[in-house]
Structure 1
Amino acid sequence: MKVLILGAGAVGGYFGARLAEAGADVTFLVRERRRKQLRQNGLRVNSIHGDIHVREPQLVAAGEAASPFDVVLLSNKAYHLADSMAAIAPYVGENTMVLPLLNGIAHMEPLFERFGRERVLGGLCFIETTLNADGEVVQTSPIHELVFGEWDGGESERIDKLKQAFSGTKASFRASTQIQRDMWHKYLFITTLSGITTLMNASVGPIREAVYGLELTRQLSEESASVMRKIGAPIDADIVDKQMQTFLNQSYGMKASMLRDMEKGLPVEADQLQGYLIQKAEQFGVSVPLLKVVYNNLKVYELKRAADK
């Protein structure tokens, strides 16, 4: 199975390298600057699960001719969705599976409209990675899971083939028969984690230890879950309790990728995560005061970032 991965950054680079390590036919669709870097140094991953050096990764630049791929994996930030869809369009054929790993849920409808509902799978990942100054992927926490499945649920022949293509790696590639539920659960967790760590400008450990840290984290999770329930999202009744336990189990230094992006002065997914839920909350009359504080903090960051430029 021919796999195309959009980008070779922290997420796509990691999972793509694990697939290449296992012998899969993987190509990375990258910008020219990243291509030069990868041609010179190869794709390097520094991981607690074992380092990888793909010395000569297969690369293609946007617009270069290539036949359609069997699966196209999107690992870009949600605010780059429009550009990402344009970049992968030449490589999507009649039978191509488009597998997005973007945070949130708002990207699904645009993908359906652009490529057809029948081509787009549901997907998500759990991983803590970043790129260092040398363009190497650094992966530091135990979890490195990618989940995929048919948007309408259940099993299918193509998902079975994808499971086989993704087998034998040192990362966890898991098929789900309830991918919508899994994606909404991930959305709730990442909205809470990114929201509280960026609001407090701290990793999980100090937030847990502070006098109101756990109380505010739960409030943020409950507000977000209340919006999701109002719009009919398929989330479990006890999901907030489960996710608070997950929050307690995180390592002391765990940070959401959004906070890491802020520390680097990079764009953030405020509109695609917290902003999307606030829009739905206002539409359905749900009170979300702490969620608005989180979102406002992110928008202030964006304004300051723009001013600094």
Structure 2
Amino acid sequence: MKITIIGAGAVGNLLAARLSATPAQVSLLARGEALEAVRRQGIMMVTPLRRVVYAQPHVTDDAHELGPQDVVFLCVKAHALRSALDSLSLLTGPHTVVVPMINGIPWWYPYQQPAPLADQPLNSVDPSEALWRTINPAQVIGATTFVAVENDGPGRIRHISDQRFVFGAISPDSPHTAAMVTEIVDLFGQAGFQSRATDDIREAVWVKLWGNLGFNPLSALTGATLGTLCLDPGTRSVGRAMMLEAKAVAEQLGITFGTSVDERIEMAAGVGDFKTSMLQDFEAGRRLETAAIIGAVIELAERLGMAVPTLRTILALLEMRVRSRDHALQSAA
């Protein structure tokens, strides 16, 4: 199986390091400092057991040299997907499956869904509809990741905890993607991950989103780790209110949750003192995934005619916090 991973962030490097130990032919598409670091020294990973593991995957910045792949994992931020389209077109053949490893509500979510989605792209995550028009949904496999992994510099990651992945076809009309789900689950098992297939990937998206939506924004606002946010009565209460609003939206879209909000919070608390990806991005001066994690849920609520006041309040505060950060960085430059 020929696999390319687009993006050398924390999750991309984790996949490249672990999948390289399987029989698959794995390539990592990277650029800038990340490209040079992996070329020079490979990927250094600190495991949850504090073992230091080195991997040397094939790495390049030239998608043309790789050609069409069997599987392409998109391991970039949701707002950076459009910048990956040129590379993706060079890696995609008629039988390639595309697996976005992204947080929040993905651009493909409305595909073959009833009203009010009804194949209408989400402006919050795909404002130009470039993703909707460019990536064939019949070739997409949905995925959710439950891993706590941090960047520790170019080519260096710390895998804190968890290694669970869920995969599922976004449409029942594609036998090829359904078969590939099984192959990907098996491959991830060979890499030592806990992986499974699901017949309802949209439900898995919401279960993952619950944790991101409830605590990623609060982490960027407060600077607190996930464990602290879940245990502090004040921030736990705010996060819980956000999750309940999102749950109501999801249920109106036909999602049935197999776990309660409080159980999901306890799952997050079990991760401990981990900096969420949004806090890591905020501290590094990078753009935040607010559109996919909060904005998309607010847009869905608007389509349904539902009020989500807590989500709107937190989004407004977070946008102000980002503007203040950016102004300070510009003033210091």
Q: TM-score, normalised by structure 1?
A: 0.89
CA contact (8 A) 2:71 2:99 kept: yes
Cα RMSD (Å) of the superposition? 2.3
The structure 2 residue matched to 1:179, chosen from 201, 205, 227, is: 201
Residue correspondences, number: 305
Change (3 A) 1:137 1:228: same
**Cα displacement (A) at 1:244:** 2.8
- The superposition leaves residues 85-140 of structure 1 with CA deviations (integer Å, 9 ceiling, x where unpaired) of 22211110000000011111232255453121210111111111122135311111
The 5 A counterparts of 1:1-309 are 1-49=1-49, 50-55=51-56, 57-108=57-108, 111-141=131-161, 143-152=162-171, 156-230=178-252, 232-236=253-257, 238-251=259-272, 253-307=273-327, 308-309=329-330
* CA distance in 2 between partners of 1:238 and 1:36 (Å): 43
Tell me, in whole angstroms, the C-alpha distance in 2 between the residues paired with 1:96 and 1:181: 24
Aligned partner of 2:113 in structure 1 is: none
Amino acid at match of 2:201: I
Cα contact 1:15–1:171 (8 A) shared by 2: no
Spell out, residue by residue over 1:11-70, the C-alpha distance to the aligned partner (whole angstroms, 9 max, x if none). 011022111123421001111442222111112111125432123x21221453332000
Q: What is the CA–CA distance in structure 1 between the aligned matches of 2:292 and 2:132, rounded to whole Å?
A: 17
In the alignment, the residues of structure 2 paired with residue 254 and residue 178 of structure 1 have an alpha-carbon distance, to the nearest angstrom, of: 29
- Which stretches in structure 2 are left out of the alignment for 5+ residues? 109-120, 122-128
Amino acid at match of 1:294: I
Q: Rate the CA distance shift 1:125–1:237 in 2: closer, same or farther, 3 A.
A: closer
Instruction: Provide Cα deviations, 1:238-270, integer angstroms capped at 9, x if missing partner.
Output: 54243133234342x133211121122221011
Partner of 1:69, secondary structure, is coil
SS for the counterpart of 1:133 is coil
Shift in Å, 1:233 = 4.6
Give the letter aligned to residue 256 of structure 2: I
Residues 33 and 249 of structure 1: CA distance in aligned 2, closer, same or farther (over 3 Å): closer
Does the aligned pair in 1 maintain the 2:43–2:55 contact within 8 Å? Answer: yes
Question: Letter of the aligned partner of 1:236 in structure 2?
Answer: F
Equivalent in the alignment of 2:117: none
Task: Please report how far the alpha carbon of residue 188 of structure 1 lies from its aligned counterpart in structure 2 after TM superposition.
Answer: 2.1
Q: Which amino acid aligns with 1:223?
A: E
Query: Take 1:206 and 1:161, find their aligned partners in 2: how far apart are those partners?
Result: 38
Conserved 8 A contact 1:185-1:239:
no
CA–CA distance in structure 2, aligned partners of residues 227 and 132 of structure 1:
36
The TM-score with structure 2 as length reference comes to 0.83
Contact 2:243/2:261 (<8 A) preserved: yes
Identity %: 25
Q: Tell me, what secondary structure is at the counterpart of 1:167?
A: helix
Inter-partner Cα distance in structure 1 for 2:230 and 2:210:
18
